[in-house]
Structure 1
Amino acid sequence: MPRPLVAVGASDPFAVLRGLEAALAGGPALLPVAERTPALPTRPPADVAQRVALVVETSGSTGTGKRVALSSEALLAGAAAADAALGGPGAWVLALPTHYIAGLNVLTRSIAAGSTPVVVPAGHFDPAGFADAAAQLVTDRSAPRRYTSLVPVQLARVLDDERATAALAAFDAVLVGGQATPVTLRDRAREAGVPIVTTYGASETSGGCVYDGVPLGPVHAAVDDGELLLAGPMLAEGYLGDDDRTARTFTERDGQRWYRTGDAGEVVDGRVRVVGRLDDVVISGGEKVALGAVERIVRGVPGHEGAVVTRRASGEWGEVPVVVTDRPLDLDAVRTAVGDALGRAARPAEVVVLDRLPMLPSGKPDRRAVRAIVDPTA
């Protein structure tokens, strides 16, 4: 029997919270909708399969739009595995949009813990607003720990504010994900006493399911032809209205159902290391260059933790890496650092400085917008 799908505006986190509570209890499935983001080209269905409790729409920072269908079992399995890894259920500060899986995870884990999250005011992330929200957080015996989840750019802003840093240091765990966290930013946080936990996952895995490189309890990781695969009870049902994409992305292997992440990675002694996107490779002068590897080196430069490395067509080389950042950066120094680590072909051709980097509401860089600025003809 189909289950009705109800859209709720994500600008009201508590309306999303109520809708998610109902969905997890067997009520109508929930579709959180962001009012100020482009709609997907097709309308969502009026109902979904009975197993589906939550649908997450994502246009992605580089790919095409999709609707990820998640069951109650997957969401709650992910929450239980995370609580076990973090030391128990807790009370949360919500600083992320609730139409993205990381924000929805905060709500799911709050529901599972029987706690009510404190919400940071919507709009441009403000460290003072975060500190105010942290001051309101109340824990109890059933959920005595304090948690929050941030993207790297939010963490960097908090660390620039003394009061917000002190508030963050009082948490039991600060999850940081959505994109790779630069080593320099991690070091800054830990020196300030902030207990960060780097996370890796996707909407298709009910959010973060690898913490500090270690898969959570029921999660399995493997590599197939250089691509990182993940398995476990937290996997999505698939994509609404796109059976072909579902079949390509979720595969059977070794008697288990696996999610093909599209990321290049490796698993060594049980630890996961993500190298970059498989499709984020340029051929420059006949040599393959992983833009993610170049970006990690650039983000290691203090003050440039949010820099983006994109591609641009070149009549001489085919394609070249280009650094896009929001403050001056010495091109020669970056070319030397990248060349020493990755070889001559990986050296960026240019540094483009913008007043402000294009960002998605999730806090991730809008890579398609960045690419359009650097190479309008692409």
Structure 2
Amino acid sequence: MKAVGVIVEYNPFHNGHAYHLQAAKELAQADLAIAVMSGNFLQRGEPALISKWYRTRMALLNGVDIVLELPYRFATQKAETFANGAVTILDAIGCHSLCFGSESGDISSFFETVDYLDTHKERFDEKIKMNMKSGVSYPRALSLSFQSLSSPENILSLDKPNNILGFHYVKSIMQQKISILPLTVKRKNADYHDEHFATETIASATSIRKALFASKKENSSIEQYVPDATSTLLKEYLAVYGHFHEWENYWTYLRFRLLHMNPEELREVYEVEEGIEHRILAAALDSTTFKEFMQKLKTKRYTWTRLQRMCVHILTNTKKTDMKITSETPSYLRLLGMTKNGKEYLNKYKSQFSLPLISKLSAYKEDEILLDIRASRVYSFGIGNQTRERLLQQEYKQPPIYIE
């Protein structure tokens, strides 16, 4: 059985994802699709709209055959670390190929860009340092440095979010000398960060989430942009848990933590550096909402995404030492769900996997998975008291979801 891998968040699963998934299977001539999916906190430093278990069901009902969790250690990181973790998992479970969406749509340009920057690494790194000294953020310094190089014609635009992720996927495959074949599908219609609906059937996850929060508890405004299974599960989640997850739900807990910390304690938290702990503590004392807090923190040097990731690590009490004791690559495969086709693949090939497959938390006690457990516990506080216990216990009691 030939498996194509996809790296996803599905926050939530929409028509654009369905298009990508179908195109990935066709392009790879695959028998099944395996998704590595972020858990309850995401790469941009946000809580997922709905839990990883509901997003797993969305994935399985919409064409994915196996869903594995990308550990917190990689899911809440910059693009390079995020990519390394996800690619390692897909390789460990035996994927023949990886297919990702991109603004480029031309896989050759990814190979050429990786080769080009590797050849000019010293010069490129010098330009990044020079731009960083001017006070801009790292992503901006990266983009400026890339633009300043005299590059060949078939080189990627690295100021586009999916191109950047795709670049790191291909770079990780090449550096790790992994046999996975990278493939790409051009993004259709909507851009990653679009906040408004661009077409009649395709919209970005950002615009869908914005519409859901604006309409409070109604799904009608987004139904044409998502498959029926997504719409049904979003309604079910609201019925069970009362509302979706967003940063404002966690502001009281984040502020409580910050108001009980001193600068020395805050400096121990992962990604808190360069003296920003003083600015964070001052902003927490003087802000009544998460949005207000973030607006006071935002500078030219610190992107909104980087600051949100800091906030996630503060909220989950993830310290620099916690990240150091975990491995540089994933040490397990956490199974969240499978279809009948996926189960057949696991039964046939699991003895060949290069990492242990974990379906029960009680079977695995390594340090790295403790970060995932802690993140899930904290995530459960983003809903009301009456339903929190159900979500809190789910991390231990929920077996992998099975869809026939």
Interval of TM-score (by shorter of Structure 1 and Structure 2): 0.3 to 0.5
The structure with the greater share of residues assigned to helix is 2
Q: Which has the higher contact order (CA 8 A, sep 6+)?
A: 2
TM-score normalized by structure 2? 0.31
**TM-score calculated relative to the size of structure 1:** 0.33
| Structure with greater strand percent | 1
